[in-house]
A and B are shown apart, each in its own frame.
Chain A
Amino acid sequence: MPDRTIQLKIKRQDDQSASPYWQTFSIPYRPNMNVISCLQYIAAHPTTADGTETTPVVWDCSCLEEVCGACTMVINGEVRQSCSALVDRLLEEDDSIKLEPMTKFPVVRDLFVDRSRLFEDLKKTQGWVPIDGLYSLGPGPWESPAKQDTRYDLSRCMSCGCCLEVCPQYTRNNNFVGAAVISQVRYFNTHPIGANNAAERLNAMMEPGGISDCGNAQNCVKVCPKDIPLTESIADVGRMTTIHSIKQFFRGE
């Protein structure tokens, strides 16, 4: 069917403080399209369905294979990566496609949001293993395959922000770090070398906005595209902070 078209309803916003508005685009259907290829078509033909010329729709992407998280947006009411959102699949459920930017981050323009809060929070909790030194530190300790397995799951986080978008406790006007960061604390605290900085990460987790601001709605784990066991991470970091604070009470300063 060469003349079949797809309707795309896009929520647009010219800059961070501008008010959003909706535009509908009608683009020719091709088999095996994804949402990014629709957006590419609109970038090349920035005309709305009723024939008005407009500015090209702005979005963010990089890897195009669901590993960088940059292209995350709300598609037909569901937060997910647009590069892995297949048009044929979407049309099975709905006859048009609705695109909106994520609501928990400031909009840079159109579908492109600024997720720096997530990266700042990773910095606060030392989301890394420090190995820089003046001399070679030699090989790291041996890790059991079972532990490697658990940590491998956690390592797949791409900071896409889906878990933050659906979290009722994560809002624009509070400072909760959300499930992704809590899970990274678990990831680095269970790393044999990362564990050297475990206390600092747990201190950061006890700050306002840390682990105790989670309300256990468990939405995060349902939407994580990487199937990271976020609720187990939250409980594990809960246990770590329980033990850490008791130790701190009895023998800390």
Chain B
Amino acid sequence: MTQSSSSPSSAARFHFLLRRLHSLSGLVPVGVFLCFHLFTNFQMLTGDFQHEVDFIHAMPALFYVELALWLSIGFHAALGCYYTFSGVKPNAAAYNYESNYRYVLQRVTGIIALVFIFIHVAHFRWRIEMFGVLMPFYAKGPGGEDLATATTAMSLQHIGATIFYLVGALSAVFHFANGLWTMAITWGVTITVGAQRRWGKMCLGLGVVLALFTIGALIGAWRYEITDTERAAFEALQQGAETMKGH
């Protein structure tokens, strides 16, 4: 036996590493970020949302944190799309097992979540008008007024926006919870059928909690009463944005 046969070929190393990094990136950092984000959103219901937002905005090197997140999501999404669209053959219609539906859903929700995340960030964070809709988010007004909760509520108090957020965020939640389940198989953590079932229940539990956070946030947004001062501050910001664009 030659020495070289005990180490993998470079093609094997590369392929395997990419696949495993794809798996890992779904948990760290993307999945962990999703959990924190949905927990933050849930504060729309408890009334601590502004406090959470201020805390996040006070984070050091926020730009780099965001950049790292975008790179991770981009990596996870690009590889995921490549794996999905390079010659697999979903067959849930012919073989209608529950796990086979989840296999298909995992891929569908991944794509929905990707489109959703992009539109969501474009509206909220970059304040870009898309499809004739602009839903900007502002943490503070021109005079330092708290606007985080109010601007979020303004955006979400439309039935279309609410459905869009529900479908997008719940897709991301399913994709994460089911991904966590398959990840344990991929890495060889859960081997027996029993272990896979038990871990599956825990992933389901996590998914339900994250879904409740999402629904809670939306209820919070609908229940919030936007005051006239908040509206005026928002208008002022919009005017400012208009004149900025005019330059």
Q: Are A and B associated in one complex?
A: yes
Interface residues of A (CB under 8 A from B): 77, 166, 168-169, 171, 173-174, 199-200, 202-204, 206-208, 210, 212-219, 222-223, 229, 231-232, 234-243, 245, 248, 252-253
A235–B191 contact, CB under 8 A?
A: yes
Grouping DSSP codes into helix (H, G, I), strand (E, B) and loop, the B interface class, with mixed when no group exceeds half, is: helix
When distances are taken between beta carbons in the complex, the residues of chain A under 8 Å from B133 are none
Known contacts A206-B15, A235-B185, A245-B16, A215 near B95 by CB under 8 Å: no
* A-contacting 9-mer, from B97-105, B121-129, B156-164, B207-215: B97-105
A-chain residues with CB within 8 Å of residue B191 when the two chains form the complex: 232, 235-236, 239
Decide yes or no: A208 and B15 within 8 Å by CB, A232-B193, A238-B186 being known contacts: yes
> Shortest distance in angstroms between A74's beta carbon and chain B's nearest beta carbon?
9
How does the 8 Å CB contact mask read for B163-187 relative to A, with 1 for contact and 0 for none?
0000000000000000000100111
Q: Does B243 contact A (CB under 8 A)?
A: no
Q: Does B6 contact A (CB under 8 A)?
A: yes
* Interfacial chain A residues near B193, Cβ < 8 Å: 229, 231-232
24 contacts between A and B (CB under 8 A): A166-B91, A168-B89, A168-B104, A171-B87, A173-B87, A200-B1, A200-B5, A200-B6, A203-B5, A207-B9, A210-B15, A215-B88, A215-B103, A217-B99, A218-B103, A219-B97, A222-B97, A239-B188, A239-B189, A241-B188, A243-B188, A248-B7, A252-B7, A253-B4
Which B residues touch A174, using CB under 8 A? 86-88
Cβ-closest chain A residue relative to B90: A168
B residues apposed to A, CB below 8 Å:
1, 3-9, 11-13, 15-17, 19-20, 83, 86-91, 94-95, 97, 99-100, 102-104, 182, 185-193, 196
Secondary structure class of chain A's binding surface, majority of residues: helix
**Is there contact, CB below 8 Å, between A219 and B188?**
no
* Contact, CB under 8 Å: A242 / B187: yes
User: Whole-angstrom distance from the CB of A168 to the nearest CB of chain B?
Assistant: 5
B88 adjacent to A169 (CB under 8 Å): yes
Nearest-Cβ distance from residue A195 to partner chain B, whole angstroms: 13
Q: Determine whether the beta carbon of A212 is less than 8 Å from that of B20.
A: yes
In the bound complex, residues from chain B placing their C-beta under 8 Å from that of A235 are: 185, 188-191, 196
Closest Cβ of chain B to A135, distance in Å, is 18
Contact B186 A207 (CB under 8 A): no
Contact present for A207 and B185 (CB under 8 Å): no
Are A212 and B7 interface neighbours, CB within 8 A? no
Chain A hits for B91, CB < 8 A: 166, 168, 219
Q: A168-B90, A216-B103 are in contact. Are A207 and B188 (CB under 8 A)?
A: no
Q: Smallest Cβ distance from B197 to chain A, in angstroms?
A: 11
Is the Cβ of B99 less than 8 Å from the Cβ of A238? no
Q: Establish whether residues B100 and A212, one from each chain, have CB atoms under 8 Å apart when the complex forms.
A: no
A168–B103 touching, CB < 8 Å: yes
Q: Are B15 and A212 in contact (CB under 8 A)?
A: yes
In the complex, A235 Cα to B195 Cα: how many Å?
11
B95 to chain A, nearest CB (A): 5
Chain B residues whose CB sits within 8 angstroms of the CB of A212 once the complex forms:
15-16, 19-20, 186
With A77-B94, A239-B191 given, name 14 new contacts (CB 8 A). Answer: A168-B100, A200-B5, A206-B8, A208-B12, A217-B103, A218-B97, A219-B99, A223-B95, A234-B185, A235-B191, A235-B196, A237-B188, A238-B188, A248-B7
CB distance from A121 to the nearest CB of B (A): 15
- With A171-B89, A212-B186, A234-B185 as known contacts, state yes or no: A203 contacts B99, CB within 8 Å: no
Tell me how far the C-beta of A145 lies from the nearest C-beta in chain B, rounded to whole angstroms: 18
Rounded to whole Å, the gap between the CB of B188 and the closest CB of chain A is: 2
